[in-house]
Amino acid sequence: MASTHSSSPAPGSQPERLIIATRESRLAVWQAEHVQQRLKSLYPKCRVELLPMTTRGDELQEAKLATEGGKGLFIKELEVALTDGRADLAVHSMKDMPAEMPPGFCLAAITERDDPRDAVVSSQYADLSEVPAGAVVGTSSLRRASQVLERFPGVEIRPIRGNVNTRLAKLDRGEYAAIVLAASGLKRLGLESRIRSYLSVEQCLPSAGQGALGIECRADRADLIAAVAPLVHAGSSICVRAERAVNRALGGNCSIPLGAYAESWAGTLRLRALVSSPDATRIARAEATGPADNPEALGEKVAELLRERGAAEILAALDA
Active site residues: 96
Distance CA 117, CA 60 (A): 26
* Residues whose CB falls within 8 Å of the CB of residue 258, separated by 6 or more in sequence, listed in order: 143, 207, 208, 246, 247, 250, 252, 273, 274, 275, 276
Query: In 3-state terms, what secondary structure has residue 49?
Result: strand
Is the distance from CB of 90 to CB of 75 less than 8 angstroms? yes
Is the distance from CB of 187 to CB of 115 less than 8 angstroms? yes
Distance CA 167, CA 286 (A): 32
Pairing state between β 89-93 and 17-23: parallel
CB burial string 87-97: b at 16+ within 10 A, e below: bbbbbbbbbbb
Query: In 3-state terms, what secondary structure has residue 159?
Result: coil
Query: In 3-state terms, what secondary structure has residue 269?
Result: strand
How many other C-beta atoms are found inside a 10 Å radius of the C-beta of residue 309? 16
Distance CA 212, CA 159 (A): 24
Distance CA 86, CA 51 (A): 8
Pairing state between β 136-138 and 178-182: parallel
* Residues whose CB falls within 8 Å of the CB of residue 19, separated by 6 or more in sequence, listed in order: 5, 48, 49, 50, 51, 86, 87, 88, 89
